[in-house]
Amino acid sequence: MQVAIVLRTFPPDVIGGMETQTKRMASELHHAGHNVTVFTKCFGEPDDSNVSYEVARVRHWQLTPFISDFTFLVFAFFALLSRRNEFDILQCMMIYPMGFLGYTVNKIARIPYFAWIRGGDYYLMNDTSWKRWMMRRVLSDTLVLAQSEEIRDDVVTDFHDIDCEIEVLGNAVSIPDGIADGSGVLYLGRLAPKKGLEYLIEAMAEIDAQLTIVGDGPQRSHLERIAAETDAEVIFEGEVDPDEVGDYYQSAAVFVLPSIEGEGMPNVVLEAMAWGLPVVATNSGGVPTLIDDGSNGYLVSMRDSDVLVDRISILLADETHRQQLGQRARTLVSENYSWSALRSALENYYQYITEPVS
């Protein structure tokens, strides 16, 4: 199968959940015999020599975030049209704006396409009328994947007047040989307002344990000031090499994701669970698909430091309970979120979308 995957940003320029997931996904598809090309933005002169598939870097004008996205879509549109005969299917990572790009390319070049709702692309864009109009075009036109049943149900409810064809397909992770056997609390991810880290820092001021924050982002200075004004023991590690991330999971006892906006199926939650870490996370987007409250982790309300204190304290105080939840979490991920399972599901969708309509 000749597969074109389209997303706005890609490693090494951006090392986020969707970007790293797509990088590994493209590699898995390539090794399974598919010809894969990733279309993404060009920043400077990135080194793509460490991947086995093609990365097509598309120019854009970086005057503002909106202009950057808009010009990328325009140039990507023409890049895809110029290579229309090279691809059997177009895989759009996000329903907005990538899904609408697939929609327009399909109308002209007839390349079969589908969109994959990652979470934030839907929840953060759904309040804008013209973005809803674009999403509506895609939902009415082709198969759409959602990362969880909760996201699918939200989309079907929001667009109840159209017949959406939505299937559920989450992320995948590698299962490490070892398991976590450390101490303290870990957060790993972007330091952005939607992650709700101020509530976690506030909670840690009431807990006799260290919080390690791995990652960087626009809120780092703000969060460092908050931590300095409390009794919380917080270590900011900044952005680390992807090869070193496993060391942080392994040396933790509890993983926390205190998001205050909709999530998809966060890579970091899957990775933490694969390491046998119990996860405390807010009830958001696709997270409830992974966490069975009280069985393999804890779900908590958004913006509630008190409940974070309670659940984190329970886990830190009872090693046996913590290990039981962690083992159940690891088993869930091992059985349901492997790379071979994801690749097999994608191959089935490719065949379904590209087969002629009788």
| Residue found by looking up tokens 């917080």 in the block | 234
Omega of the bond prior to 46 within 30 degrees of 0, cis?
no
pLDDT of residue 357: 57
Q: How far apart are CA 351 and CA 118, in angstroms?
A: 22
Residue 186 backbone dihedrals phi, psi, to 5 degrees: -125, 135
pLDDT of residue 356: 67
10 and 38 in contact (C-beta within 8 Å)?
yes
Burial class (CB in 10 A: 0-12, 13-18, 19+), 162: exposed
Q: How far apart are CA 355 and CA 358, in angstroms?
A: 9
Degrees, nearest 5: CA angle 200-205-206: 100
Q: Global pTM?
A: 0.78
Q: With helix as H, strand as E and coil as C, how does the chain read?
A: CEEEEECCCCCCCCCCHHHHHHHHHHHHHHHCCCEEEEEEECCCCCCCCCCCCEEEEECCCCCCHHHHHHHHHHHHHHHHHHCHHHCCEEEEECHHHHHHHHHHHHHHHCCCEEEEECCHHHHCCCCCHHHHHHHHHHHCCCCEEECCHHHHHHHHHHCCCCCCCEEECCCCCCCCCCCCCCCCEEEECCCCHHHCHHHHHHHHCCCCCEEEEECCCCCHHHHHHHHHCCCCEEEEEECCCHHHHHHHHHCCCEEEECCCCCCCCCHHHHHHHHCCCCEEEECCCCHHHHCCECCCEEEECCCCHHHHHHHHHHHHHCHHHHHHHHHHHHHHHHHHCCHHHHHHHHHHHHHHHHCCCC
Structure tokens at 308: 């974070």
- Domains observed in the chain: 2-172+338-354 (3.40.50.2000), 185-336 (3.40.50.2000)
Q: How far apart are CA 174 and CA 27, in angstroms?
A: 13
Q: How far apart are CA 105 and CA 75, in angstroms?
A: 12
Residues 6+ apart with CB under 8 A from 299: 281, 282, 283, 287, 288, 291, 293
Q: Maximum distance among all alpha carbons in the chain?
A: 67
User: Over the chain (358 residues), what is each successive 10-residue block's mean pLDDT?
Assistant: 96 83 94 97 87 95 93 97 97 95 97 90 82 95 92 92 93 92 95 95 97 95 96 94 91 96 84 97 87 96 96 97 97 91 94 80
Characterize 243-276 residue by residue with b for buried, 16 or more Cβ atoms within 10 angstroms of its Cβ, and e for exposed: eebbebbbebbbbbbbbebbbbbbbbbbbbbbbb
As a residue count, the chain comes to 358
pLDDT of residue 317: 97
Q: How far apart are CA 315 and CA 267, in angstroms?
A: 22
pLDDT of residue 37: 98
pLDDT of residue 133: 95
